[in-house]
Amino acid sequence: MTGSVRIALDAMGGDNAPDIIVEGAALAIARSSDLRFDVFGDEQKLASLLAAKPDVAKVSALHHTPEAIHNEAKPSAALRRGRRSSMRLAIDAVRAGKADAAVSAGNTGALMAMSKVVLGTLPGIDRPAIASVFPAVARNVVILDLGANADCTSENLVQFALMGAVYAHAVNGIERPTVALLNIGTEDLKGDDVVRDAAQFLRENDLPMKFEGFVEGTGLMAGTVDVVVTDGFTGNVALKVAEGTAFWMLDKVKTAVRDSWTAKLGMLLARNSLRRLRSELDPRHYNGAMFVGLGGVVVKSHGGADALGFANAIQVAESLVRTQTNERIGENLTRLHPDDQREAS
């Protein structure tokens, strides 16, 4: 897709809203020339923030709402009582075709529940998933589900595999992505019925991917395949263990060099390289998870993101729109249920 991309921003979602939403939008337009925004939130606060960022103001339409979804709100309560919230109105704009995508740093459960109700799921998808790209050793790996569905059936996993493959093709440009299911061993008999049944289906059916069977947690981090598929419970734990382990290693290194002046001097000499590394590993550069399987593009930013992180989430949304990932997922889903599609058409 060429031309301008229009993004609906939930300006009241996340720990640092609305300030970092507007600052993030400013960083995003500095990098990409053709973005427009619909900004939903408290008019008074946003008007002064936009006044300070004329580049954002001139490509934005401000839509006032006094309501916002609380970080601790239950999804059901958010659905019932949040009809005039900034989050809901941003999703409504996508549904109405006024915006190409919605971006929010708000409550994940509420955002997923509202997105499902407002945008619906793609034909053939029972449950949407949260997908993201992870910088593993050998390559960038698409991983899903990262927490939308604690319990999954083998059908859910098959649908996630297909969506992940299309995502890897559209966003990472991989012609026939390699796909594996996360498991506790690589032999066919390992794991539970859910992963074994999903593996059997993926082996036996002709889908736009190269199915590689199972991968373990070590293989996920090594980047042995392009797409790793798992249930939302395991995926969420895996992501947070990886985060926690990175922090744990930094802590261990700090402690290890603390008592030696030569080691401290050594770290000083290596500081430029280590600083570049820290920047490369900066989680803000990977911020922005796509909700896949919905009838529209919704991107979730980390709740604690700063302007740089939020700008990245906006760029993820822009790239999903430009690569028409959602349309491609929809087209490929007909391969899972050819009969249903024939009836429907």
Residues forming the site for its own copies (CB under 8 A): 72, 74, 136-137, 147, 150-151, 182, 184, 187, 189, 191-192, 216-222, 230, 232-234, 236-249, 251-253, 256-257, 259-260, 262-274, 276-277, 280-281
| Pick 117 or 253: Cβ nearer its own copies | 253
For 261-326, give the DSSP string. Answer: HHHHHHHHHTHHHHHHHHHHH-GGGG--EEEETBSSEEEEPPTT--HHHHHHHHHHHHHHHHTTHH
| Least distance between its own copies and beta carbon 279 (Å) | 10
| Least distance between its own copies and beta carbon 315 (Å) | 23
Token readout for 267 is: 């770290």
Provide the 3-class DSSP secondary structure of residue 100. coil
| Least distance between its own copies and beta carbon 34 (Å) | 34
| Least distance between its own copies and beta carbon 237 (Å) | 5
| Pick 63 or 300: Cβ nearer its own copies | 300
| Pick 59 or 267: Cβ nearer its own copies | 267
For the CA atoms of the chain, what is the radius of gyration?
21
Place of tokens 């949040």: 82
Distance CA 337, CA 9 (A): 34
| Pick 83 or 247: Cβ nearer its own copies | 247
Q: Are 183 and 229 in contact (CB under 8 A)?
A: no
| Pick 72 or 343: Cβ nearer its own copies | 72
| Least distance between its own copies and beta carbon 111 (Å) | 14
| Least distance between its own copies and beta carbon 299 (Å) | 20
| Pick 27 or 143: Cβ nearer its own copies | 143
| Least distance between its own copies and beta carbon 233 (Å) | 6
Distance CA 111, CA 58 (A): 28
Token readout for 228 is: 């790793």
| Pick 51 or 150: Cβ nearer its own copies | 150
- Count of CB atoms within 10 A of residue 105's CB? 32
Per residue, what are the HEC states of 220-273?
HHHCCCCEEECCHHHHHHHHHHHHHHHHHHHHHHHHHHHCCHHHHHHHHHCHHH
Distance CA 76, CA 28 (A): 33
| Least distance between its own copies and beta carbon 204 (Å) | 22
Q: Are 209 and 176 in contact (CB under 8 A)?
A: yes
| Pick 65 or 301: Cβ nearer its own copies | 301
